[in-house]
Amino acid sequence: MSDLIKLLPDAVANQIAAGEVIQRPASAVKELLENAIDAGATDIKLVIKDAGKTLIQVTDNGSGMSQTDARMSFERHATSKINQAEDLFAIRTMGFRGEALASIAAIAHVELKSRLHDQELGTYLVIEGSRVISQKPGACPAGTTISVKNLFYNVPARRKFLKSNAAELRHIIEEFNRVAFVHEDIAFTLIHNNNIVYQHPASTLKQRIVSIMGSGYGEKIIPMKQGTDRVEISGFIGKPQYAKKTRGEQYFFANKRYIRHPYLHHAVENAFEELIQDNSFPSYFLYISVEPANIDINIHPTKTEVNFQDNQLIYAILKSAISKSLAQHNITPSLDFEQEQSFDLEELEKGKPIRNPFTPKDVQYNPFETSERKTDLRPGGGQASQQRDWEKLYDPLLERDSRPTEQELPRHDDVHDKSTKIFDIEASRKFFQVQNKYIVSYIKSGMIIIDQHNAHFRILYERFLDHLNKKASVSQKELFPQQLSFSPDNAELLKEIRPNLQLLGFNIKDLGKNTFVVDGRPADCPQDDLYALLERILENFKRNTEKLNIDKNISLARSLAASLSIRHGKRLQPEEMEVLSEQLFSCKVPEKTPGGKLCFWIISFDELQKKFRSTDAT
């Protein structure tokens, strides 16, 4: 048999390498920005068209390249950053593998203009799919401009799997930010489709964080710093009261590189424990620096996973440093703890999710009772009064039903026929809430158990979808219009879905610079934190459209419904349970939530009867 093995042509090898290094426009952005930083630039401009699908251009005022280097830089394993294997253990530059430019040139149309500071003329170079199309001298500013056009033009599979422009732009913004967060001494500009998205002047670290996160952010963070001879940790942590409902504002950097580190993340969470509620996430921007030899940055091709030699030491330092910083700023666990205890009841008081006016049929029902309960339930006065409440709610029922008379027993064949309502007798006798989570009742054919959250989710979802499709909704005016600032990527998204939010009843005006005024909200929307609500909607929306690829309107209706639907753990009055149940059964699809979770479950009387007649058990 003849020999079969041959070396791949460079262009093919480069394309394969590109598959690993360049997954989407954002990866090219990252590589180009890092090269500019390695070249010593103090001013870097990123210009993007169509979320990078048409153009990614990085201009820097760094060292520039000679004619030969310009040509060489596109060869694979061509780097000016390491010479020998030992250098790998002392890396202080962002790149070193010499793969990025070769990879990008294999899958795009690339133009380079570069000039050394002490030369009159620079170099123009055009490369397409690894082929040099032209190279000639030409005039240009000192430094380098690389333009990457039509990324993946020759890898249709990759191009096809790119996400929407909004999604790809968010990835780009994320990469851009990760770089900008660690190089506050460098000026950065990001322009997308001729609009300035960011303009960061060289500044202090805190100013840079505020410049990225939006004005007002400075109020929300406190500094921290701690060092030993082996490791330095510094940066900013978010005040607990501003903890987010979603992850996102959590950044670790090691030796000026964005990293992910679940173990160290745990140290931060640990330090914040008791200060923030479950399922809230503290914000942090933490900068770790160690000797390059003590960090292994190369266990992952895109280099976000790293290993520290002193993992445990860093964990301990981090945790104690955060605790110390929180204490110095007078943020101690006991302060917030009380708030947390009363959380549930505050929810009960404000923002009643169901706006229909109740006609309290139960004589025991006293709408003014809640404030009294709230004080009762504070730590110390707790359990006993909670017990009394419980009894109050169920007493009449227990009393009557424990000694039922013939007439009082619901007879499933005739009781309900008299009314058009599905649930037609006194709510307090008809609805139990179990575990502040399930509504138990009965209908003609059997017992019904409703999941309060899932049911309300379905109701709101259909209502919102209806608003979006009919292009009409009810908006209630804010007494005091609110001015809200968002992080630029959320601001971009908000602009994009503003017309849809309008249909849902939000009245939002764009003031520019990532700031908005909101002077109307949906009629069903409780008076709680509008900013948090919008953020939750944006996060949900991102998840839905990116991960699940769902239609915009459906995704929005779903996000808003998910954000506004009543939670498990919320105590409901019988009348509220009644309204909720009636509304659920006027839905088009009452059975399931939009995500496919069960809203209710019926055990038929036949089943019950069978169960009790069965002779399985002796």
Q: Which residue, 213 or 295, is less far from ligand ADP as judged by CB? A: 295
Compute, in degrees rounded to 10, the torsion defined by CA atoms 471, 476, 478, 482: -30
Output the smallest distance, CB 98 to ligand ADP, in A: 4
Element (H, E) at 282: none
Q: How far apart are CA 58 and CA 62, in angstroms?
A: 11
Give the residue closest to ligand ADP by C-beta: 95
The stretch near Mg ion (CB under 5 A) out of 29-37, 112-120, 512-520, 602-610 is 29-37
Residue 342 is encoded by which pair of tokens?
């009363």
Output the smallest distance, CB 139 to ligand ADP, in A: 18
Q: Are strands 284-290 and 295-296 parallel, antiparallel or unpaired?
A: unpaired
Q: Which residue, 28 or 210, is less far from Mg ion as judged by CB? A: 28
Partner touching 325 among ligand ADP, Mg ion, none, CB below 5 to 8 Å by kind: none
Cross-strand partners of 61: none
Partner touching 97 among ligand ADP, Mg ion, none, CB below 5 to 8 Å by kind: ligand ADP
Q: How far apart are CA 618 and CA 17, in angstroms?
A: 70
Partner touching 109 among Mg ion, ligand ADP, none, CB below 5 to 8 Å by kind: none
Output the smallest distance, CB 57 to ligand ADP, in A: 12
Q: Which residue, 35 or 559, is less far from Mg ion as judged by CB? A: 35
Cross-strand partners of 482: 518
Q: Which residue, 100 or 169, is less far from Mg ion as judged by CB? A: 100
CB atoms within 10 A of CB 384: 9
Output the smallest distance, CB 101 to ligand ADP, in A: 4
Q: What is the DSSP letter of 524?
A: T
Output the smallest distance, CB 257 to Mg ion, in A: 12
Q: If you count them, how many residues does the chain have?
A: 618
Cβ 215 vs Cβ 485: under 8 Å: yes
Output the smallest distance, CB 270 to ligand ADP, in A: 36
What residues line the site for ligand ADP (CB under 6 A)?
Answer: 31, 35-36, 38-39, 60, 62-63, 65, 73, 78-81, 95-102, 144
Residue 81 is encoded by which pair of tokens?
């950053």
Output the smallest distance, CB 158 to Mg ion, in A: 20
Is residue 276 helix, strand or coil?
A: coil
Residue 35 as a binder of Mg ion (CB under 5 A): the answer is yes
Output the smallest distance, CB 325 to ligand ADP, in A: 36
Output the smallest distance, CB 596 to ligand ADP, in A: 45
Phi-psi label, residue 48: left if phi above 0, alpha if psi -120 to 50, beta otherwise: beta
Give the residue closest to Mg ion by C-beta: 95
Measured CA to CA in angstroms, residue 280 lies from 221, 272, 328 at distances of 16, 10, 22
Cβ 553 vs Cβ 499: under 8 Å: no
Partner touching 144 among ligand ADP, Mg ion, none, CB below 5 to 8 Å by kind: ligand ADP
Partner touching 80 among Mg ion, ligand ADP, none, CB below 5 to 8 Å by kind: ligand ADP
Residue 224 is encoded by which pair of tokens?
């921290």
Partner touching 123 among ligand ADP, Mg ion, none, CB below 5 to 8 Å by kind: none
Look up tokens 């006798």; give the residue.
429
Residue 52 as a binder of Mg ion (CB under 5 A): the answer is no
The stretch near Mg ion (CB under 5 A) out of 97-105, 147-155, 242-250, 260-268 is 97-105
Partner touching 129 among ligand ADP, Mg ion, none, CB below 5 to 8 Å by kind: none
CB atoms within 10 A of CB 29: 25
Q: Which residue, 124 or 394, is less far from ligand ADP as judged by CB? A: 124
Q: Which residue, 80 or 280, is less far from ligand ADP as judged by CB? A: 80
Q: Which residue, 38 or 575, is less far from ligand ADP as judged by CB? A: 38
Residue 231 as a binder of Mg ion (CB under 5 A): the answer is no
Residue 100 as a binder of Mg ion (CB under 5 A): the answer is yes
Q: How far is CA 299 from the centre of its chain?
A: 26
Distance from the first to the final alpha carbon of the chain: 77
Cβ 533 vs Cβ 506: under 8 Å: no
Partner touching 39 among ligand ADP, Mg ion, none, CB below 5 to 8 Å by kind: ligand ADP
Partner touching 62 among Mg ion, ligand ADP, none, CB below 5 to 8 Å by kind: ligand ADP
**Residue 285, C-beta contacts closer than 8 angstroms, at least 6 positions apart:** 181, 209, 221, 235, 236, 237, 249, 251, 253
The stretch near Mg ion (CB under 5 A) out of 3-11, 31-39, 153-161, 169-177 is 31-39
Q: How far apart are CA 209 and CA 225, in angstroms?
A: 16
Q: How far apart are CA 211 and CA 208, in angstroms?
A: 5
Residue 63 as a binder of Mg ion (CB under 5 A): the answer is no
The single residue among 25, 62, 64, 95 that binds Mg ion, judged by CB under 5 A, is 95
Query: Interface with Mg ion by CB under 5 A: which residues?
Result: 35, 95, 100
